């Protein structure tokens, strides 16, 4: 082929040519975005293709550090390895089913921990809540930000399992789960160093404090002291950033203006 960035082809009548697309191509003229991996052209036709050089991934120092931090955190997740094994052996749909079940299973475990917290060792509660909080944070951050830097999304096709709406719904569930996890951590703080005042009687009280903290309500009937203060600040910032990411997912999931115009609404 010519070294020129533009390639011209002439297709004689009755003949067809199939072009394999190796870079993202978006077909316009439809209310939704359609990505393709090949184009079939039937003659007679004369077409021209412009080859674009591959984009180089270049990050600033800060983004490069965050990129590698979240890349490493992703490798600490059990779900990461199980999901990758499922994708290679079955399908993305089965992988999505696993992720949904995995999330719901964790929520069930966390609710059991809150209900029976007095019967469980505080060290176990601390480890489980910390592990899941790190896993949950890196998972959603990687999905929203860093996966786009690592993978070409063209190959995903039209799977609804990777749609904006699914990501948004899972994000809402993850935000609620985050409140559960911070509640467990605040319960551990309260029972070890008296981190909440007045003294709470159960993990449900810690969950209540976590919910009013993550939603920035702050009624003041329960107040953090000692190490519970920085933990409450971290939770408030975590909830704020998570809420911003959810808002972005929600806006991205809304139908485009063109789709609304064509539907007549």
Confidence at 162, pLDDT banded by 50, 70, 90: low
Do 219 and 186 fall within a single domain? yes
Confidence at 144, pLDDT banded by 50, 70, 90: confident
Q: HSE-up of 238 (CA within 13 Å, CB side)?
A: 25
| Contact (CB, 8 A) for 166 and 97 | no
Do 16 and 142 fall within a single domain? no
Domain assignment present for 192: yes
Q: Please state the rounded mean pLDDT for residues 189-193.
A: 94
Domain assignment present for 109: yes
| % residues pLDDT > 70 (the chain) | 75
Q: What share of the chain is helix, strand, coil (3-state, %, to 5)?
A: 60, 10, 25
DSSP lists the bridge partners of residue 16 as 42
| Coil vs helix vs strand at 46 | strand
3-state SS of 225-240? CCCHHHHHHHHHHHHH
194: left (phi over 0), alpha (psi -120 to 50) or beta: left
Confidence at 241, pLDDT banded by 50, 70, 90: very high
Do 45 and 119 fall within a single domain? no
Which CATH number goes with the domain that contains 89?
1.10.287.70
pLDDT at residue number 121: 95
Q: Between 139 and 177, where is the model more confident?
A: 177
Q: Is residue 257 over pLDDT 60?
A: no
Dist. CA 170–CA 192, nearest whole Å: 33
Nearest to 185 by CA among 227, 240, 217: 227
Domain assignment present for 83: yes
Q: Please state the rounded mean pLDDT for residues 48-60.
A: 66
Q: Please state the rounded mean pLDDT for residues 96-108.
A: 90
Do 80 and 104 fall within a single domain? yes
| Contact (CB, 8 A) for 189 and 221 | no
**Any alpha helices (H) in 44-91, and if so which ranges?**
61-74, 78-89
Do 43 and 78 fall within a single domain? no
Dist. CA 79–CA 98, nearest whole Å: 9
Total structural domains within the chain: 2
pTM, full prediction: 0.73
DSSP lists the bridge partners of residue 39 as 19
Q: Between 72 and 16, where is the model more confident?
A: 72
Domain assignment present for 130: yes
Give, as one character, the DSSP assignment of residue 6.
Answer: E
| Contact (CB, 8 A) for 71 and 141 | no
Do 82 and 213 fall within a single domain? yes
Do 107 and 215 fall within a single domain? yes
Dist. CA 20–CA 248, nearest whole Å: 33
Do 72 and 147 fall within a single domain? yes
Do 44 and 106 fall within a single domain? no
| Contact (CB, 8 A) for 43 and 11 | yes
Domain that holds residue 237: 61-251
| Coil vs helix vs strand at 202 | coil
Strands (E), 149-219: 196-197
Q: CA 230: distance to chain centroid?
A: 26
Least confident range from 16-30, 76-90, 98-112, 243-257: namely 16-30
Q: Encoding tokens for residue 89?
A: 């052996």
Do 44 and 77 fall within a single domain? no
Domain assignment present for 244: yes
Prior bond of 199 cis (ω within 30°): no
pLDDT at residue number 83: 77
Least confident range from 24-33, 52-61, 102-111, 250-259: namely 24-33
Do 46 and 65 fall within a single domain? no
Do 66 and 13 fall within a single domain? no
Nearest to 207 by CA among 134, 133, 111: 111
Dist. CA 209–CA 214, nearest whole Å: 9
């Amino acid at each position: 082929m010519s070294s020129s960035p533009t390639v011209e082809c002439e297709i004689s009548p009755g003949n067809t040519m199939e072009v394999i697309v190796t870079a993202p191509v978006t077909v316009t003229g439809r209310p939704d975005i359609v990505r393709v991996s090949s184009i079939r052209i039937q003659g007679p036709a004369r077409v021209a293709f412009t080859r674009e050089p591959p984009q180089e991934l270049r990050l600033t120092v800060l983004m490069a550090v965050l990129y590698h931090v979240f890349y490493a955190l992703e490798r600490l997740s059990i779900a990461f390895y199980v999901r990758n094994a499922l994708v290679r052996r079955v399908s993305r749909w089965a992988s999505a089913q696993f992720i949904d079940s995995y999330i719901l299973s964790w929520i069930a475990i966390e609710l059991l921990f809150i209900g029976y917290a007095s019967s469980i060792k505080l060290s176990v509660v601390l480890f489980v809540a910390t592990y899941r909080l790190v896993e949950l944070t890196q998972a959603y951050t990687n999905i929203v930000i860093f996966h786009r830097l690592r993978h070409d999304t063209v190959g995903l096709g039209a799977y609804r399992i990777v749609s904006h709406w699914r990501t948004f719904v899972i994000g809402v569930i993850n935000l609620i789960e985050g409140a559960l996890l911070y509640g467990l951590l605040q319960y551990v703080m309260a029972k070890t160093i008296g981190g909440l005042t007045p003294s709470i009687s159960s993990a449900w009280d810690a969950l209540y404090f976590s919910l009013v903290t993550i939603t920035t309500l702050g009624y003041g009937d329960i107040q953090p002291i000692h190490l519970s203060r920085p933990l409450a600040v971290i939770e408030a910032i975590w909830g704020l950033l998570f809420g911003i990411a959810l808002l972005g997912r929600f806006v991205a999931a809304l139908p485009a203006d063109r789709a609304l115009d064509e539907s007549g609404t």
